Structure 1
Amino acid sequence: MSNSNSSDLKSTAIMEQMKIHLGTDAGKELTKKIGLVYQINVSPKKIGIDEESYVVDLKKGEVTKGPYEGKPDATFSFKDDDFVKVATGKMNPQMAFMRGAMRIKGSLSAAQKFTPDIFPKPSKL
């Protein structure tokens, strides 16, 4: 079991930026517009192995580490590199899904609102 405070995943930096983003006016607009809870599972090399979970709560406007208590509207599973590509707009979520780079559980209508637009535009990582 890895130390829960430190993470080697590149996705962690995106989640940290997302936390800050949700506190801004743009982030608050997003929360109003989407109003859904997403759980994102990110694995270093292979989906489902050693994954770290994050909850992007677009009802409350917060990002937390660890699985969601209850049932998220949709759950996504990625490899770290693929999540970074999707979150930064380098890979289309539909394409990621079709290639098997992203797995979805839960509501497909909720999943369709999960787009790179919900993430802050990356500053240089």
Structure 2
Amino acid sequence: QMSKFIHLLGFKNNVFSYVTNAKFLVLTSKYEGFSMVILEALFAGTPVVSFDCETGPGELVQNEHNGLLVKNQDFKALQDAIERMVDDSQLYYLCKENAKTSVSSFSNEKISKKWLDLVKNNTN
């Protein structure tokens, strides 16, 4: 019944323009490692609504700070979280405002420095 509102695009080589223009990202993975799609969305300033898999989303999404986490595979809770992100503009703008800064520790500069420090410390 949602086909009027949702259109699945299929595979795209470059999704950056979609992610930056999205109101928020919804991740429905049952299992997830370190999620690059969540990291990319947050870097783009796009809040996230995600299942709280055993690993992955909870490492990046801070509930009610840069997105919403719901119990893994609880589709009713996911629906409620999506509706909340749409209806609660104060929550949405708080999460949007915090999205980029919440993942600043993963910036290229900071990660590069950590790798260089690791290499320097292990070559002595």
TM range (shorter): under 0.3
Higher relative strand content: 1
Structure with max Cα Rg? 2
The TM-score, its normalising length taken from structure 2, stands at 0.27
Question: Which gives a bigger RCO, structure 1 or 2 (Cα 8 Å, sep 6+)?
Answer: 1
Select the structure that is richer in helix: 2
User: With structure 1 as the length reference, what TM-score do the two structures score?
Assistant: 0.26
